Amino acid sequence: MNRLFSCVALITCLYSSTAAGEQILVDCQGSGQPVYLVVGGPAFTSKHLEPIQQQLRDRFRVCRWDMRGVGNNAALPIKQDMTVLEQWLLDMAAILPKQPVVLWGQSWGALQSLLFASRYPERVKAIILSNPVDPELVSLEHIERKRYLHPYVAAQLTLDDMGTDVEKRHGFRSKIASYFVDAEQGWAFSDQFDHNDTNSQLNVQVWQEYRQQPLSTEALKQLTAKISSVIYCRQDVLMPENHESYSSALPTVKHHIIDGCAHFPWEEKPEQYYELLRQSLSD
């Protein structure tokens, strides 16, 4: 709650009305051409994207938001007569300005960006895909085996912690850290989160819903002209399957691979990542 108040006090947050007249919190920083950051997960908080906002705010108006049912927008109701993914896409349609915007999507957020652009092509000027999940989800098939297990960096749990919020937070932090090559950096990054920053039920549900109506290869190819670039990390748990999928479907798009990072390149290799990101925005 304190974070929400400070956000409002700095005038970086605003409320947008959804199609149903509900108020969804959106965090925007900077001025200029609008760039909207679509968070991964799915159903993970967007607060870890603030460093990207700060890096780009000198030239762009950079906005992010937590999806319905998650984080700052956890209180928004989940309707039972339509899929969660459909509600998230409708929320995007309500949040984004009428003018075409740039979409940046990371991991699952890349797929959500592509789904939105496929539905509303006139609302999207360009798309940057960052560590994207491939539309066929081949990169997820062995992800548990490919994650980096770093169990001994943080303090271990005690018997008194079992079944408590302490155990839940430890488990969540451990999972976040497993997406980093470096154990200490992964655990340090995960310190900003607790188990309330995600919604595991919606995470499972959205993946299931996507599998029922995945983005087709043909639909992806039709978006070629809008995709500015695709940025990968060589050590990402989604590699090499995601790179093989996108480079095959989008041979004329720029594909960049950063060495020495896994799933969060703006944390692991910030100098290289932001150089590529600014280049992609200029293109």
Per-residue model confidence as pLDDT tens for the chain (283 residues): 333 433 543 346 677 767 677 899 999 999 999 999 999 999 999 999 999 999 999 999 999 999 999 999 999 999 999 999 999 999 999 999 989 999 999 999 999 999 999 999 999 999 999 999 999 999 999 998 998 988 766 567 666 666 776 677 777 788 899 999 999 999 999 989 887 899 999 999 999 999 999 999 999 999 999 999 999 999 999 999 999 999 999 999 999 999 999 999 999 999 999 999 999 999 8
For 43, 100, 207, the CA distances from 27, given in Å and listed in that order, are 17, 19, 25
Tokens 């996507």 sit on residue: 210
Q: Which CATH number does the domain 29-282 belong to among 3.40.50.1820, 3.30.450.20, 3.40.50.300, 1.10.15.40?
A: 3.40.50.1820
Element (H, E) at 189: helix 183-190
Domain ranges in the chain? 29-282
Which residues, 6 or more positions from 281, have their beta carbon under 8 angstroms from its beta carbon?
35, 56, 59, 60, 102, 128, 228
Question: What pTM value is reported for the model?
Answer: 0.90
Q: Give strand pairing partners of 230.
A: 129, 255
